[in-house]
A and B are shown apart, each in its own frame.
Chain A
């Protein structure tokens, strides 16, 4: 779960990290009023979207008047923002963050990430701020500083000082910067983050340190212990189908093919997509109904797939261990009877009560093809949908 820049800054600020703050605006009129309220000669208008590289895509603009703040915001919100990280379709801008412009002396990079291989968390810092950190890591790896954080103790002061010194700070700056590092690590651990990124972390001409930009990604499964962040999740982040799936505790991801899939278990769902491709087709989605899906979940899953107009055929692949095949068959029939189906449907059932399940499907008035193996199922659905 990602949050917007203004939200990330609010969280970091609550842990004592100094941030470059501002005021949000939901439309051009508000942006213009915010500019007046800030009472500064120059401000920066920043599009609030869940993607990096905003500057390159025109999502960050300097403005010198309320009128300019109005015009810039209107333009930003008029079409989806395309950045190097969004893909060509871009992301619609619904909110901007208006901050007073600051005079920057130098930009740095600070980040905390999960180190999957080391099963630990890692502080990353660099003197090369404001740019894509992955290219820094690739081209000049010597400019990347790393410090492993022991989760039981948090980032220790001596570790933070070591990083501050390596970044080239001296005098009182060492203490100031190491405090900020310790607070950032506290925010990461206390808030169950997967990623915190302050890029750039800036030193201003008047000697202050500020998080100029901030990104936070939370561990979605840890949100049960953070009710304080629940209202930060904006529904707009998910597509309509994904929202529906989420409500029914189904795992659904839309893809660009035309064969809808419904499978139990994430690994088998991926393997089913793979075998469709292998048979010459293209999967329209990933959909995992879970290892122990209920009849209602199966029905809802079916409806979600059918709500996608691009879907020209459906493949159901269930290996019933916990879930019984006859229940799956009833779930499918329930959905089909409720909404009807005009496209080919191939069902492969294996496992507990497989014969009962198959016979329910074969006896139904609907034209449902059955298959015994994954391969047969994939070939049948590809044949039934090819040319459409």
Chain B
């Protein structure tokens, strides 16, 4: 078991530029079922990844990839100015899981996207995220594959490389992962911690969850409330930005302290008071999960 992506995943790429080409080839190498890429006006032609014999078709639209090859998941590398349009196209075509890697989408565009998505069934992950991997089954994203191994820890994070760091600690300690998800570093994103926690709660394979939050917004606080009320598995959490000054955007568009409740210390205390295992040092994430699992 796993959440969101597995052997049934049929992936289409929107925005097959240099980055899209490189990362999709890595997803294919990992064993992800890849159906092709959207390139308007090029349907009927095909392409191959460097150093590969396999050939994949181009589609004029996402809809065409859905109709002809049963695409159910999209990965978006479309540059920021057109990325919102790409997300809406995927949602409109009925893609059930849309993963947007693109960084720097204007906030008002994302507000439009969220309004567009109301009442529709698609799940959006990102933007500005590393994607999703279910180790041993499918990788849809830009994370380095080799650090992961199949297992029972779910990982949710607003960050990219800090997620890799976390996964690496888990793997080194012998803990594999059920599914690892980067939900993105922007202010307005498709899926929140709570959205993903609900899925991990339903997944029997997942025995514990690591949640990597950061300064800015109130997503971690919402997660804390949800965890206390409904989540039955141990959760270990680290909040990045304990030393970040207020009012400064720390790399991620969403990582900015504008009020007291958005600081790392407030979030850490809040999570702790709601039964979450909070770590102060990012080096302790793996070991703390080990202890939490022994206790439960």
- Interface positions of A (Cβ within 8 A of B): 114, 116-117, 119-121, 150-152, 189, 192, 194, 219, 221-222, 224-225, 251, 253, 255, 263-271, 273-278, 283, 286, 288, 291-292, 319-322, 350-352, 373-375
Contact = CB atoms under 8 A, between A and B. Distances in A.
14 contacts: A114-B111, A119-B110, A219-B107, A267-B212, A267-B251, A270-B241, A270-B251, A271-B165, A274-B282, A278-B280, A319-B168, A321-B147, A322-B144, A352-B144
Nearest to A152: B115
Contacts, number: 162
A277 B242 contact: yes
Nearest to A113: B258
B123 interface: no
B91 to A, nearest CB: 15
B251 A269 contact: yes
Given A221-B106, A264-B161, A374 B282 contact: yes
A168 B218 CA distance: 34
A251 B244 CA distance: 14
B162 interface: yes
B74 to A, nearest CB: 20
Given A221-B253, A222-B108, A321-B142, A267 B185 contact: yes
A350 B282 CA distance: 15
**5 nearest A-B residue pairs (beta carbon):** A267-B159, A266-B251, A265-B161, A267-B162, A222-B106
Interface of B: 19, 80-81, 104-112, 114-115, 130, 142-144, 147, 157-165, 168, 185, 187-188, 212, 214-215, 217-218, 238, 240-245, 248, 250-253, 255, 264, 280-283
Contact of B161 (A255, A273, A319): A319
Contact of A221 (B104, B143, B188, B245): B104
A266 B144 contact: no
Contacts of B214: 267, 270
Given A251-B251, A275-B282, A286 B244 contact: yes
A119 to B, nearest CB: 5
Given A265-B160, A267-B159, A319-B165, A275 B283 contact: yes
